[in-house]
Structure 1
């Protein structure tokens, strides 16, 4: 169920250090179904995992067909697990029978997580898919190559079940090379918080998702995953993401920016990353000039250039978007707005002798677009 170390990105493992400092970690998985013109985005989070704090607990959110939304909280942090050295996590709510479940799976709750971490990770964690289906009434488990779960939104009664395998194609970097930290070298230190890592820029998913009784079966559907973590929270951010383009099956884009804490000050940063035909095109503050003009909602424009390449992209939507919850200083709150049905145009150019040559033009109507945080009283223009 795991992928090789060479193709795994930095920061794939769980970051919590076991202390009682304010902390969150969040994961995002997505599958796009071109034939249905729909997307399923799964968002998982854990806050203050030591327990006993005002915001301690986890949650699972899904943005489904036509930007519909369901959410389920999992307040018991002891039923959350995550691997330290690889991508793997899960959170359980109800099980079929506690006594039977404990006997058949070997799950034992330690009296103290910090003192029993090795035992906890050894005796819990990933269940065989059949065992998960049999024993877990609500919850999820996910790795780099497998994703499974079932949740019900108690407020609306809406529910979803899912089970699919994942074949990673692009992580974050050139194929057959060491993979990179999305935020660069300093993301290994808690200087820049929160941290952000694209785990899989592009992959193929095969399996099924059930949404309120409707079952979607798929084979080799475009898939994506990323994560963020830390003890501080961004003030304001934007995000553009797509790996389902018209007539371009081997293309994946992730771009975004935000205001984040750096020691005792705040900085505004943005980046664009593109995987195309086996090559990674990276536009980040330390190798490129990146600029942006982001409306509070409806239009996302970005440009970047370095010595070799230039890129321009524009995302738009006439849809209202869906409010989503995100970890904040005050716990999980509605803090951002998303659509998975955005329009996107993209152009990549190579710079040669003072001129530029177009390498790629691409379009999509299944682009993920997001704005989050505050204030969004007017367009956000880069300095």
Structure 2
């Protein structure tokens, strides 16, 4: 039970009053397997000290059939975040002059006219879009997998060096897999769900990666206890840039990790439509393919000039995963999904991005 009682590393809000360029972003997702639809909530705060052209917050949403909505929160003073554990919220309008903070669900409904609040186990909000109606949501989440083996303390996704702020940005999978129960009301249609696959991650720092890709899924056909996260990026390390990638798999209580410190990882990713990532460590080999034919959804991410459309997304990607014993070739796991999260971002994408490592 140790894994469930201890907070995931980097769960807390990282801003401590510094005046230099800073952002923090969070990503929460629920996948409804019965209707093959996904809801993703992306929250961000930039330059919370204020008085810069990029100061502000935002809530970006992906809904049914990858419909995209964005609502800004110009006043950073109405944002709150817990520093020792996962908890944050931002209010746009509320009824009295009280300071924004976590509220009991009923009190939030009564007091907050527009905003959101989220913790490890609770997520609630209401956003009003002038031309697109109202979005409301309330659901409870039971975490199943953080990052690492369930019998150990949760790990930093980017390794122990991520605690020494030398990477830009920091990145942490907060919940590789969980079960969400509640409801989401999307422009007049209500979606009720029980034990729907849920996922959460975050990033923070002074700059987004120069270029990156991402594959994520925890809703596989015929596999109720499987979660995959694969990502790579060209990131800043002190005064130079490096290209790195990792693959993490949680399956039936076991964690398979392929990262720069314990494995060889390679990739071949197109600007849009095709992802191929492979890796091997001392015991296993893994290959992941992602494919999508539909055009991407453009999503905003923090940049030196504030939120910019520099990210291409879908929640309806096709994904195939194969995990094998390295020495015998025996297939350990083979799985497929039609509701995978696939993403490319940054620049330049002058063609297929291939790692220098051999397949």
Match of 1:111 in 2: none
SS of 1:94's equivalent in the other structure is strand
CA 1:297–1:158 in structure 2 vs 1: closer, same or farther (change >3 Å)?
Answer: farther
Match of 2:70 in 1: 71
Match of 2:104 in 1: 128
Whether the 8 Å contact between 1:204 and 1:221 is mirrored in structure 2 is yes
1:159-198 → structure 2 map (5 Å cutoff):
159-198=134-173
Match of 2:17 in 1: 18
Match of 2:334 in 1: 361
Deviation at residue 275 of structure 1 after TM alignment? 0.2
Aligned partners of 1:345, 1:201: CA distance in 2, in Å? 18
List alignment gaps of at least 5 residues for structure 1.
109-123
Question: Residues 294-331 of structure 1: CA distance to partner in whole angstroms, max 9, x if unpaired?
Answer: 00100000000011111001000011121001111110
Match of 1:280 in 2: 255
Aligned partners of 1:280, 1:13: CA distance in 2, in Å? 24
SS of 1:200's equivalent in the other structure is strand
Whether the 8 Å contact between 1:160 and 1:209 is mirrored in structure 2 is yes
Alignment of 1:144 with 2:120, yes or no, is: yes
Aligned partners of 1:275, 1:28: CA distance in 2, in Å? 19
Match of 1:93 in 2: 92
Deviation at residue 190 of structure 1 after TM alignment? 1.5
Deviation at residue 19 of structure 1 after TM alignment? 1.1
In the superposition, the TM-score normalised over structure 1's length comes to: 0.91
Whether the 8 Å contact between 1:6 and 1:179 is mirrored in structure 2 is no
What is the root-mean-square deviation in Å for CA atoms of aligned residues?
Answer: 1.2
CA 1:4–1:83 in structure 2 vs 1: closer, same or farther (change >3 Å)?
Answer: farther
Whether the 8 Å contact between 1:168 and 1:202 is mirrored in structure 2 is yes
Match of 1:381 in 2: 354
Deviation at residue 152 of structure 1 after TM alignment? 2.3
Q: Which has the higher helix share?
A: 1
Match of 1:250 in 2: 225
Deviating more after overlay: 232-241 vs 20-29: 232-241
Deviation at residue 53 of structure 1 after TM alignment? 1.2
Deviation at residue 158 of structure 1 after TM alignment? 3.8
Match of 1:241 in 2: 216
Match of 2:324 in 1: 349
Aligned partners of 1:53, 1:4: CA distance in 2, in Å? 40
Aligned partners of 1:282, 1:201: CA distance in 2, in Å? 13
Deviation at residue 51 of structure 1 after TM alignment? 1.1
State the number of aligned residues.
355
Q: Which has the higher strand share?
A: 2
Deviation at residue 153 of structure 1 after TM alignment? 2.9
